[in-house]
Structure 1
């Protein structure tokens, strides 16, 4: 009997978050998609606590593989998982995400009509009572609004809800593992994807819930790291296009503040706007820290 070809390979990097990983994997057991059409590959990026007991129940529930590597960051972990993938399409998410039951079904519909595209789905905040998590997700929502307003050609998707043809991913060499942190490598990959003439499409019906539990220090560190990643991204793009580093224009920041004022109650609007401003201060600080640090130039 001929074996059914895998359509999807779900790649999940993880590092020291066993509880979140368990929630993510449990959600994959509830997908309304044939189990013989997808596989799940978790890449342990050097966690200090062994994951064998955490993932053991899922070998019976899913077509499951656990890979291990020395800590090298999520970009490297995604590439490691992709190298073992057997599916026609790679689907990336993170260990703190919970995909909707129809996640793969909606992706399959998109790829049926356009098999050569990159699909970016919608990420929803799973922690609405956490102000910092709410502000962080609203910032991502703004970036999607800003960069993806042209429905014919979006420009940026995050790697926690992203799918694309496996052969195209390998042709581009995967994610750039020289990025120092989990920040900016997805943006760089999208830019490189477009530079090679491939297409992207935003699919808001392809949904995951993101449970990124933030505090004020974690919020600052997150956006400081985004600034570091932004410097690396702009440097990489400058090298690729032979043009000077060019950051976002003034309207980007003005629209950002307007966006923060258009959500939630009056009190929350004020608090979110303050966090938006703080995020940009952290972003600029990270950008110039990376620019003037002693790390190797990009």
Structure 2
């Protein structure tokens, strides 16, 4: 996973500010995680209409700084067609494999090198027949070694610069490859992931919820993928990777969350991972209630091994101590809520004093500090609601059984969070079934999280992380 010697962005490579970033003179505010950057006068001159085009070392350095800070995204020129290798791990899913290979052949030019890894299927003849039909190289495991081992087996025989991993329950949409290819003009890009969307129109209410709220779908907005950001991971159901960057690939000792682990190891090593929603790959979501809940619980079991490897990057709650104190008091009742508001006001005043020192170019400091503290406090409250209903639901339930106040708080949070989410996102479900599905989602994931914690004998995935306010960058 060592970085290449040449990391400069090529001439003509452009970057554009994220749509959520505010530019106030020479000050940029936004990104994920949130940043406040002060540009030098020369850098501000290079930023024209919210974008920078690389033309020399100075503009290249500025573009790299904006990308690394998460306040801007790549705007590369279209890449030339290139031969890639497509690796497909499969186990007992011949119909899905046939559909996927057909879609790949129809949507990729030049026709890629295809590698099918049969991870111990019961009907090996069916898998072999389909692989032969599409001219794919077939690798076989005598027994199921897991998806990580299957992907790595395909990675080891790949000879192309780029390798696509596609699961057999996926179907790429026409034009999916080009937006991913374009990102590799940046020599630091190791992985680019498409948006995972639902295959077909679901008929059940759980299917409609999953189409809207699947954990595989990272949303409509592009992003740099990194821990504690809006897009903190991307699923391995569909990835395009730089073969030289990923080294030995996935950790074969992990049967779940191996994709998150790979992404975070790459980011820690200095590589860039991008999420590109202009590229879409359809996925055959689980739509039957019990199967869907088992899948959610299985995902939850991955939190413990991730926490043991990556520390508080998995923390269910990350906030500064001012917000933690305000919300802790608010949960005790109205007197505590008033005290929490007072703490928030003090935090805004302290932030204003700090901004005047650290960001002298920022205008209207008082209004800015109030906005930042207000939005930060709301975001922290959302994390508290998620903690109570998802990660720590057994504790919330136990407290509700012995305390009327805790019971009222739990019911208010469970209904309030669900209804606010429904109103904000307007999913294709009525509010009753949407809230019910959201709470079942939390129940399943939280159960898996606790089972994983017990299995690994650790409370690491349940520990909150308290942060200090970092100084704005320049």
Using the TM superposition, give the Cα deviation of residue 55 of structure 1 relative to its aligned residue in structure 2, in angstroms: 4.6
- Does the alignment pair 1:21 with 2:94? no
- Does the alignment pair 1:162 with 2:239? yes
Q: Deviations over 1:40-82 (max 9, x none)?
A: 11111111111x44453554544x1111112011111111111
User: What is aligned with 2:454?
Assistant: 292
Gaps of 5+ in 1: none
User: What is aligned with 2:427?
Assistant: 264
Using the TM superposition, give the Cα deviation of residue 205 of structure 1 relative to its aligned residue in structure 2, in angstroms: 1.6
- Per the alignment, do residues 65 and 34 of structure 1 end up closer, same or farther by CA in structure 2, a change over 3 Å counting? same
How far apart in 1 are the matches of 2:126 and 2:223?
A: 46
3-state SS of 2:212 partner: helix
- Does the alignment pair 1:283 with 2:445? yes
Q: How does 1:25-36 map to 2 (within 5 A)?
A: 25-35=101-111
User: What is aligned with 2:436?
Assistant: 274
- Does the alignment pair 1:116 with 2:170? no
Using the TM superposition, give the Cα deviation of residue 260 of structure 1 relative to its aligned residue in structure 2, in angstroms: 4.6
Equivalent of 2:315 in 243, 246, 255: 246
Q: Deviations over 1:150-177 (max 9, x none)?
A: 658653111112111001111xx31122
Q: How does 1:55-134 map to 2 (within 5 A)?
A: 55-56=128-129, 58-59=131-132, 61-62=134-135, 64-69=136-141, 70-111=143-184, 113-117=185-189, 118-129=191-202, 130-134=204-208
How far apart in 2 are the matches of 1:207 and 1:88?
A: 22
User: What is aligned with 2:122?
Assistant: 48
Equivalent of 1:139 in 213, 226, 229: 213
User: What is aligned with 2:290?
Assistant: 217
Q: TM-score, normalised by structure 2?
A: 0.53
Q: Deviations over 1:88-110 (max 9, x none)?
A: 11211110100012222332233
3-state SS of 2:122 partner: coil
Q: Matched residue pairs, number?
A: 279
Using the TM superposition, give the Cα deviation of residue 136 of structure 1 relative to its aligned residue in structure 2, in angstroms: 3.1
User: What is aligned with 1:176?
Assistant: 251
- Per the alignment, do residues 229 and 95 of structure 1 end up closer, same or farther by CA in structure 2, a change over 3 Å counting? same
How far apart in 2 are the matches of 1:164 and 1:141?
A: 21
User: What is aligned with 2:378?
Assistant: none
3-state SS of 1:56 partner: helix
How far apart in 2 are the matches of 1:156 and 1:101?
A: 24
How far apart in 1 are the matches of 2:130 and 2:224?
A: 41
Q: Deviations over 1:227-278 (max 9, x none)?
A: 101222122212xxxx6973345624747744454233452x4323322211
Considering Cα pairs closer than 8 Å and 6+ residues apart, tell me whether 1 or 2 has the greater RCO: 1
Root mean square deviation of aligned Cα: 3.1
Q: TM-score, normalised by structure 1?
A: 0.81
